[in-house]
Amino acid sequence: MSESDTEDWQENARMIVDSARAIVPADGSLSRVRKARFHGSGFDREVMRQAADLGWMLMRVEEDAGGLGLGMRETCALMEVLGGGLVPEPVLSSLMAAAVLQERLPEAVLTGEAVIVTAWQDKVGAQDWRGGASGGRLLGRKYNVPGAADADFFAVVTGGGVAVVPRGAEGLTVTSEETLDGGRTGLLTFDGVEAEFLPCERVEQVLQDARLAHSAYLLGLSERALTITLDYLRVRKQFDKPIGSFQSLQHRATEMKIRLELARAAISATARRFDTGADERTRSRDAARCKLRAGELAMLVAREAVQMHGAMGITDEADIGLFVRKAISEANLFGGPRQQRASLAALLDQEEAA
Amino acid sequence: MISLPDYNAMSDADFRQTVRSFVEENYPDIPRHTLSRLHWEDVKPWYLILSKHGWICPTWQREHGGMGLTAGKHLILIEEFERYGCARVNDIGPVMLGPLLLKYGTQAQKAFFLPRILSGEHIWAQGYSEPGAGSDLAAVRCEAVLDGRDWVINGQKTWTTLGMDANWIFILVRTDKTVRKQAGISFLLVPMDAPGVTIRNIENLELEAEFCEVFFDDVRVPADHILGEVNQGWTAAKALLGHERVFIGAPRLSASAMSRLNRIALRAGVWDDPVFRDRYVALQCDVLDLTDLFEIYVDKLRGGEDIGADVAMLKIFQSELYQRISELMMEVAEEDSGLRHPPEGDRQLHAAATYLSARPTTIFGGSTEIMRNVLAKAVLDLPS
């Protein structure tokens, strides 16, 4: 990797992070996020239009397919900012659709008129995605589809290829359930939906990328929650002293910080390895360990933040609660800690067999 | 002086190969992969071989007889020594005192002491801790009073690692009792054979005498045996901690413990047990994540950046991880973990040996609790 490559990605990441300020307020205000909870689709189409205007839909589309061909370092930088702002829009799911479809991404998505999300998961609590195609039609279910409540297109990933399915397709039933953070998660049921299956070789890679990108979102979320908690420790007084002067709380705060810096180091090193060429084994191992680290981090920071906020921590009025609910809703997406450890153990088996 | 090639001009891969060949060709017939430290009489051949080839002081500048390695190249050297299982030499002189002499020493001190560290004639010990000054190191009470042309030293040092092997010791002493405790400390250089110096060995949990107590009873050293200015010792003592902290946080202890855990699990027949695997892969991730964090600090060293108080994060996580690995070893070894001697005479299979040798890592070089206090204030900006 040359020096200029290094500078390129840093400059790109800076520009993308700056552009995200249109969506994540620089002053850290969470009032939009708070208002969007528990009604409608749980996200704002206007924000998705902005995201398209900012060129995000083209980030993970290769240059020779008309995209920007940006790497995982830039993607993670963006996701970290979105996580810090608890952005509820299905940006990652749209980026995944773009990465899977490349030049076949619908034009209306690029202009921001339409929203596309990815439907890949065959089963709750598993990372299987090969189901859903049967005799040239879509059949069966896809779980945990973010933004399904108001998306216009679904990039449906199956072992027989990927299909772009419009919301109104005959035989497709879209239902959704409220999530703890105030958003909605979708369930797609296909009853023999006619579809054109486009061959796609990169599904597993896109899922690894998504696992990494989602880890960056959780990192951003955790960092902001820790910052808010540290601020509180500095100002909240009991026994005539700021509670942040108490050693028991200080030591627990340092544990959060250590876990946070481990996650940051793992995610940034993994993104660099993904961008500069990593073999398949390294990719699956490192995506899994980033997700393991980030998922556990988000839950650790969430529960410690509640405890350290005392009674304020258990009110809905305090913003820290938004982080707790989001952490709970998101930490197990793309596989929770148990699943990540299981896939790492499977890699160990492969090494021995080899 | 030996003329060495410019190792820093080599590619990392070439340098690694150079170190690997050097070790394979030159390592003497002494133990490898030991968990506890060897004493001078056992490790002396290796020290003298390193000395003969100009490799005993990797980080000193070349004009002073070192290899002049950058931090990145030094790390490769450490990794390759570790890979081969080279015993650690009595390195207080090369690692700790040398850099201090170079920074604070007079011309005469440098001319006298540096060549004797390089040759192995002087083996140094570090006299910091006292019975009443451990984590609160600035509370040292061992005192030195100027009497004519001599410093007269009275007091005690303890936990002096390999002090029984040393013929010189550098100590922190109180030279002013009337000021703030940090402002009344000086650095003295003392020959261990000076009248009034007494040593008492301390057996550690592993039943080995790795450290000792050193008593000073009206010990006299010439006035010029002070390093740096009078009452400026605290600054020098803290300067020692800078780069070394990065190496204390290196993942190598944990990584090598993982390979022992692997062997112990195979021997115990639990390697395929899913409950064991679940915990094994979690620890493996911890080692890999620590390695990624460690690389960030190595890059800083390479780029000549200062290392801040945040490096304590590395030390805390590394030492606690090492202990957690050793705890899983004990579970896996079951009843065998309680045996005094290694199974099959193989120290690598002795879970308790790792368990015990992992205990001091959260204590020395700044205990975990003190490190967390430092992090809370200096990095998290929490109030006192």
Please report the domains of chain B, with CATH numbers, ordered by start residue.
Answer: 7-89 (no CATH), 124-231 (2.40.110.10), 240-379 (1.20.140.10)
Given A176, A194, A212, which residue is the final one in a domain? A194
Q: What interhelical angle do B351-358 and B252-268 show, nearest 10?
A: 150
Hey, how many other C-beta atoms are within 10 angstroms of the C-beta on A247? 12
Cα–Cα dist A105/A56, whole Å: 13
**CB under 8 Å to B278, separation ≥6 — which residues?**
A341, A342, A345
Do both A139 and A218 map to the same domain?
no
Q: Across the 354 residues of chain A, what is the mean pLDDT of every consecutive 10-residue run?
A: 63 92 92 94 95 96 94 97 97 98 96 97 96 94 97 97 96 97 97 95 96 98 98 97 98 98 98 93 96 98 97 95 97 97 90 72
- Between A and B, how many residue pairs show a Cβ–Cβ distance under 8 A? 91
Do both A177 and A251 map to the same domain?
no
pLDDT for residue A3: 45
**CB spacing of A250 vs B316 below 8 angstroms:** no
pLDDT for residue A181: 96
Residue with tokens 């979102």: A217
Do both A106 and A179 map to the same domain?
yes
Name the minimum distance, in Å, from the CA of A266 to any CA of chain B: 5
The answer to whether the CB of B58 falls within 8 A of the CB of B93 is no
Q: What is the pLDDT of residues A291-340, one digit of tens each?
A: 999 999 999 999 999 999 999 999 999 999 999 999 999 999 999 999 99
Cα–Cα dist B230/B188, whole Å: 10
Name the minimum distance, in Å, from the CA of A105 to any CA of chain B: 36
Using CB atoms, pick whichever of A233, A265, A348 lies closest to residue B293.
A265
* Nearest Cα residue to A122 out of A169, A192, A209, A187: A187
φ, ψ of residue B226 in degrees (nearest 5)? -95, 140
**CB spacing of B285 vs A293 below 8 angstroms:** yes
- CA distances (Å), A297 to each of A85, A146, A264, B286, in order? 17, 22, 11, 13
B12 vs A: CB within 8 A: no
**CB spacing of B316 vs A258 below 8 angstroms:** yes
Given A147, A167, A194, which residue is the final one in a domain? A194
**CB spacing of B383 vs A244 below 8 angstroms:** yes
Using CB atoms, pick whichever of B277, B280, B383 lies closest to residue A245.
B383
Chain CA centroid to CA A23, Å: 16
Listed as ranges, residues in chain B with pLDDT below 50 are: none
Do both A237 and A338 map to the same domain?
yes
Instruction: Tell me how many helices (H) and strands (E) chain A has.
Output: 11, 9
Which string of DSSP letters, residue by residue, matches A237-272? EETTEEGGGSHHHHHHHHHHHHHHHHHHHHHHHHHH
**CB spacing of A261 vs B293 below 8 angstroms:** yes
Torsion of CA B284, B286, B288, B294, to 10 degrees: -150
What is the total count of domains within chain A?
2
* Nearest Cα residue to B289 out of A199, A269, A345: A269
**CB spacing of A289 vs B289 below 8 angstroms:** yes
Do both A135 and A264 map to the same domain?
no
Q: For chain A, how many residues are written?
A: 354
Give residue A234's domain range: 203-353
Do both A32 and A178 map to the same domain?
yes
Q: What is the pLDDT of residues A125-137, one digit of tens each?
A: 999 999 999 989 9
Cα–Cα dist A146/A166, whole Å: 15
B261 vs A: CB within 8 A: no
Hey, how many other C-beta atoms are within 10 angstroms of the C-beta on A31? 9
Cα–Cα dist B7/B5, whole Å: 6
The answer to whether the CB of A286 falls within 8 A of the CB of A270 is yes
Hey, how many other C-beta atoms are within 10 angstroms of the C-beta on B351? 26
Do both A157 and A276 map to the same domain?
no
**CB spacing of B317 vs A293 below 8 angstroms:** no
**CB spacing of A292 vs B296 below 8 angstroms:** no
**A-proximal residues of B, 272-311, CB under 8 Å:** 274, 277-278, 280-282, 284-285, 288-290, 292-293, 295-296, 310
Is residue A322 exposed (0-12), middle (13-18) or buried (19+ Cβ within 10 Å)? buried
Name the minimum distance, in Å, from the CA of A258 to any CA of chain B: 6
Using CB atoms, pick whichever of A249, A253, A289 lies closest to residue B288.
A289
Residue in chain B nearest A227 by alpha carbon: B380
For residue A323, the domain's CATH number is 1.20.140.10
Given A149, A175, A194, which residue is the final one in a domain? A194
Two structure tokens written together for B147 = 């009497």
Which residue type occupies B34? Answer: T
Name the minimum distance, in Å, from the CA of B297 to any CA of chain A: 10
A253 vs B: CB within 8 A: yes
Strand-pair partners of A163: A156
Rounded to the nearest integer, the mean pLDDT of chain A is: 95
Question: Of B254, B258, B382, B384, which to mutate for an interface test with A (greatest number of A Cβ within 10 Å)?
Answer: B382
**A-proximal residues of B, 304-343, CB under 8 Å:** 310, 313, 316-317
Is residue A155 exposed (0-12), middle (13-18) or buried (19+ Cβ within 10 Å)? buried
Cα–Cα dist A227/A208, whole Å: 29
For residue A25, the domain's CATH number is 2.40.110.10
Name the minimum distance, in Å, from the CA of B242 to any CA of chain A: 19
Residue with tokens 């004519």: B148
**CB spacing of B282 vs A292 below 8 angstroms:** yes
Do both A224 and A105 map to the same domain?
no
Do both A256 and A129 map to the same domain?
no
pTM for this prediction: 0.92
Could you list the active site residues of B? Answer: 244
Do both A187 and A252 map to the same domain?
no
Residue in chain B nearest A339 by alpha carbon: B278
Do both A79 and A132 map to the same domain?
yes
ipTM above 0.85, yes or no: yes
Output the CA angle B100-B372-B186, nearest 5 degrees: 30
Do both A184 and A243 map to the same domain?
no
